[in-house]
Amino acid sequence: MGVLAITLDIMIIILLIVFMTLSETGVIPTHKRGFTCGDESINFPFTGDTISAGMVLGSVVVPLFIMWLVEVLRAQSHSSRLAIWKKSLCISLYWFNKYLIGFGIHLALVDAMKSLMGESRPHFLDSCRPQEAINCTVGTFISNFTCTNTEYPVQLVFDSYRSFPSGHSSVGNFVGLFVAWYLYKRFPSTGSKWLVPLFQTLSLIWGAACGITRITDNRHNWWDVLIGGIIGLTFAAYTAKYLCHNFKVFRTSWSDEHLETSSLPLRSENQLLSVTTNGKDDVNSQCA
């Protein structure tokens, strides 16, 4: 990559981080959609998170270790142990870089939608305690409000009207589908018909759990979770299929010891030898 390309990539990353930070902290104001006086759907108590934001964000790095382990298992045994670990790590980091591109763009989109929609969470009245809700006429729509709750952290009060779409559901499903897709394409054959589907199911369950618990915790409405999940699944599929080239490792000759295709029949593997990806942006050129 040239200096200009690297500079542009760094600038984009910085802009995304700055935007999401300003959005999450309220520096970029969130649209106040308003609420209806006496609306019981936003009158649930705040009870915390079954799956915390830290757990969800922590799961974002898990695919790197999964990919590294799988690539080590796929490597040919006659290569040196150090060469196997280095080559496997290189391949994993290449795909993890593509994964972070898709993840970052998808997360910025979710943040932007939260700021634009400004939908009240189910625990909005408890967390915000809007002054206008006191002695208001039931059924009256209140378009502008001021939160008066000083018992909760400012971030939690501000977050009480950033319900749509669910970030937990979006991130969880992004990670879950990406890992499941990767395992389908790259996990080495063991002879077991149950092992890979079991791992895939566990991965997808994580995404589902991140969404379902948001409803049971009264942190989101069902439609917030549904749309968040769709966004996460869509970006995960795009990342796996197009950014990661469906997890194919292209070879330029039969002498490459460590780079293998994704368990394809021999005739398909031969066909891949003449295939190239976008310029030098492929696993083979990066991990030669």
Is 50 exceeded by the pLDDT of residue 277?
no
* Residue 1 pLDDT level (bands cut at 50, 70, 90): low
Tell me: pLDDT of 168 over 90.
Answer: yes
Report the interhelical angle of 81-117 vs 222-238 (nearest 10°).
140
Q: Can you tell me the distance from the alpha carbon of 221 to that of 2, in angstroms, rounded to the nearest whole number?
A: 46
Most confident of the following: 71-85, 236-250, 253-267: 236-250
Position 264 scores a pLDDT of 37
Residue 266 in this model has a pLDDT that exceeds 70: no
The H-assigned helical ranges of the chain are 3-25, 53-58, 62-74, 81-117, 124-128, 154-159, 167-186, 195-216, 222-238, 266-272, 283-286
pLDDT value at position 280?
Answer: 56
pLDDT band at 257, cuts 50/70/90?
very low
162-170 average pLDDT score: 98
Query: So what's the pLDDT on residue 190?
Result: 85
Classify 130 as helix, strand or coil. strand
| Residue 265: per-residue pLDDT | 39
How many residues comprise the chain? 288
- Tens of pLDDT, residue by residue over 178-208, are 999 999 999 998 889 999 999 999 999 999 9
Residue 284 has pLDDT above 60, yes or no: yes
pLDDT of residue 272: 40
Residues 44 and 126: beta-carbon distance below 8 Å: yes
Number of domains comprising the chain: 1
With contact defined as beta carbons under 8 Å apart, do 251 and 283 qualify?
no
Residue 191 lies in a domain: yes
Beta-carbon count within 10 A of 147 CB: 18
Residue 274 near residue 246 (C-beta atoms within 8 A): no
Average pLDDT, the chain: 88
pLDDT at 232 over 90: yes
Q: Is residue 175 part of a domain?
A: yes
Query: Which pLDDT tens digit goes with each residue over 105-151?
Result: 999 999 999 999 999 999 999 999 999 999 999 999 999 999 999 99
State the pLDDT at residue 80: 83
Q: What is the pLDDT of residue 288?
A: 66
Residue 268 in this model has a pLDDT that exceeds 60: no
Instruction: Answer whether 170's CB lies under 8 Å from 110's CB.
Output: yes
Q: Exposed (0-12), middle (13-18) or buried (19+): which is 185, by Cβ within 10 Å?
A: middle
pLDDT, average across residues 29-48: 95
Q: Please report, for residues 4, 64, 96, 175, 262, the alpha-carbon distance to residue 180 in angstroms, rounded to integers and kept in the order given.
A: 35, 13, 14, 9, 14
pTM score of the predicted model: 0.88
pLDDT of residue 52: 96
Residue 274 forms part of a structural domain: no
Residue 124 lies in a domain: yes
In a domain, 215, yes or no: yes
Domain range for residue 97?
3-248
Domain-embedded: residue 270: no
Position 121 in a domain: yes
3-state secondary structure of 278: coil
